[in-house]
Structure 1
Amino acid sequence: SLKDEYSLMKDLFPDIKGYYNRMNLGFAGGNNLGLEIATGEFIYFLNNDTLLPNDANNEILAMLEVFALDSRVGGISPKIMYYHPKGMIQFAGCTPLTSITLRNKQIGYREPDRGQYNNCAEIPYLHGAAMLVPNRIIKEIGVMSELFFLYYEELDWSCRIHKKYKLVYFADAYIFHKESASTGQDSPLKTFYLTRNRLLFAYRNRSGINRILAVFYLIGIANSIRLIKFVFSGMWKHVGAVCSGTWSGIKLFSKKNLS
C-alpha cells in the first residue's frame, strides 16, 4: 500500500512544508509540484538520495553571493561526490553536448578528488541531483517540461535557461550522492526512456539541418548499434524497449512540443 511519507516526516519535523501525491509524476512533475508551494527567493533542487555536508549553510550562502555579484547567473550546481566510495567525484562541471551526436563529457566523473576541480567555472548544463535556481528565473523561463518524465528534463531546462543566463559549477560547495558508482545493468524501463528522451531532446533543442541530422543519427546509427548489441546479448526486453522508445519519441514530434 502507498504510504503518506510526508505526514510521517511532518510529525518528526513540524516546520517542514510539503505535499503528498499518490500519482508518480516523474522527476519534472514532482519538482514542479513542489514549486507550487515553494515561496523562497531561491530554490535548491536536491535528489532524495543526496546528503548535505555539515557546512551546508555556509556553502549555500556562498552560492547566493554568486547571484548577488552577477545578475546574469541563472543557476548553480555544486560539486557532486559519490557517497560511496568515499572521495570519488561524480560531477565537477561538464562540456557542451555536440550538435549532432548529443555527446558530452561530465568533468571529474569517477575520479578521486585531489582538488583538481576546485575552481568555479561556467558550464552549459546543471546537474539534476543538485541545482540552485533563483525563483525569478523560474517565473521567467518556466518550469521543467513534464514531457520527459524521466531523464533529460534538467538538460532541456538548462538549455532554456542558458539562452539568457549563465550557468555555474560552484566548486566551494558539494553534496554527497548515494547513487552507485558501479556500472550496473540498465533496466528495460531506463532503456525505453533514454531512447525516447534523446529523440525528444534533439527535436526540442536543435533546429534546421542540425535537428534533421541529430534525429537521423539517433535513429539510424545510435539506436541501430544498441539494437545489434542487445540482440547478440539476447537481451530481448531491451530490444523491445529501444523499438518502443524510438516510436514513442517520434510520436512526440509536433509543434506543440517545441516549447
Structure 2
Amino acid sequence: MYDFTACIVTYNTERDELKKIIECFQKVELRFKLWISDNSEKDDLKEFIEKFSDDRIEYIFNNSNDGFGSGHNVVVKKLLEDGIKSEFHLMVNADVVFEKNTIEKIVSYMRKNTDIGQIGPKILEYDGRLSRSCRLFPTPINLIFRRFLPVKLIVEKLDYNYEMKWYDYEKVIDVPILSGCFIFVRMDVLEEIGGFDERYFMYMEDYDLCRRIGKKWRTVFYPEAEIIHKHGKASYRSRKMMMLHMNSAIKYFNKWGWFFDKERKIKNKECMRKYKK
C-alpha cells in the first residue's frame, strides 16, 4: 500500500517545468507512485519521463484532450479498477514546486485529523508573495458579472469577502474552497465522491470537488506546509481562456444554484463568523 499516489495532468507542458516538480517528488521519503497523465496531441513526453529511470513514475498518454478533470480521472479510475491501494491522493499542477518534507508534514497532519477530507498548503508566488488561495463559495457576481464592472473600487469591495482578504494565512482554518493547483485528498473520500465532474473542461472543477468533499468532511487550509506556484491566471490574459472560464462558471451555477444557494449562504456565513476579525 502506498502512503500516497499523485497525478500531474500535462498538455504541451514545458519539460523544464515538469523536470522541477518530478525532482521535488523524488526527494519525498514516503511510499508513493506518480502518474503523468498526458492530454497532448503526441506522446513526446514518454521518452522524457522514461529517462528518469524511476519506477515510482509512470507515463500515461490519453491520446485526446478531454479536459483537466478528465485527465486526473484517468488515474483515479486506474487506481480503483486495478486495486492500487493508497492512503491519500494528490492532484497537482506541473508549475508547482515544493521543498523536502512538505508532503510528509501534510500526511502527518492528515493522519492525526481523520475528519479532514481535503487539505491545502500555503501557496507562494515565484517572487515570494503570498497567493490568497482560500475562498468562500462564489456568487455569480464574484465570477461572472465583475468582469464587466468598470469601477475597480466596486470589484475590490465584492472580492473582499469572497477572496477572504481579512484572513492572515497564519493559522489552520476550515474553508469552503481551496486552490486547485494542489489538491490533497483522502483516497477513500475520493473513491466515495467519484473524482472530478467531467462536465467542466477547464476551471471550476476544483470548486465543484471542494463542495462535494465539504458536504461530509472538513476542508482545511494548513499553512505549516508551503508550496510555490507559478499562478499564471491565463483567463485574464487570453480571450479563449476567459470564455472557457465563463462557460465553466455557468455550468457551476447551473448545478449549485445562481442566486438561491442555501448551502453557500450557510457555509460562507459560518466561515466569516469563526475567522473574520
TM-score with structure 2 setting the length: 0.64
Percent of aligned pairs with the same amino acid: 23
| Structure 1 CA distance for aligned equivalents of residues 77 and 58 of structure 2 | 11
C-alpha contact (below 8 Å) 2:133/2:178 kept by paired residues: no
Unaligned runs of 5+ in 1: 110-115, 212-259
- Tell me how many residue pairs correspond in the alignment: 199
Match of 1:203 in 2: 254
* Secondary structure at 2:169 match in 1: coil
Shift of 1:161: 0.7
Shift of 1:62: 2.2
Shift of 1:199: 1.2
Out of 181, 189, 209, which is 2:240 matched to? 189
| Structure 2 CA distance for aligned equivalents of residues 25 and 71 of structure 1 | 33
Out of 138, 142, 159, which is 2:190 matched to? 138
Backbone CA RMSD of aligned residues: 2.8
Match of 2:163 in 1: 106
C-alpha contact (below 8 Å) 2:136/2:175 kept by paired residues: yes
- Which letter maps to 1:197? S
Match of 2:112 in 1: 69
Query: How far does the alpha carbon of each residue in 1:138-166 deviate from its partner, in whole angstroms, 9 at most, with x for none?
Result: 11111101111110000011111111111
Shift of 1:95: 2.9
Match of 1:94 in 2: 135
Bigger radius of gyration among the two:
1
Shift of 1:102: 4.7
Q: Give matches, 1:1-259, under 5 Å.
A: 2-15=42-55, 16-38=57-79, 39=84, 40-53=86-99, 55=100, 57=101, 59-83=102-126, 86-98=127-139, 101-102=141-142, 105-107=162-164, 116-180=168-232, 185-206=236-257, 210=260
- Which letter maps to 1:106? E
TM-score with structure 1 setting the length: 0.68
Decide whether aligned partners of structure 1 residues 152 and 49 sit closer, same or farther in structure 2, where only a CA change above 3 A counts: same
| Structure 1 CA distance for aligned equivalents of residues 165 and 123 of structure 2 | 10
| Structure with the largest fraction of strand | 2
C-alpha contact (below 8 Å) 1:92/1:108 kept by paired residues: no
- Which letter maps to 1:61? E
Shift of 1:107: 4.4
Shift of 1:43: 0.7
Query: How far does the alpha carbon of each residue in 1:151-185 deviate from its partner, in whole angstroms, 9 at most, with x for none?
Result: 0000011111111111001101111112347x985
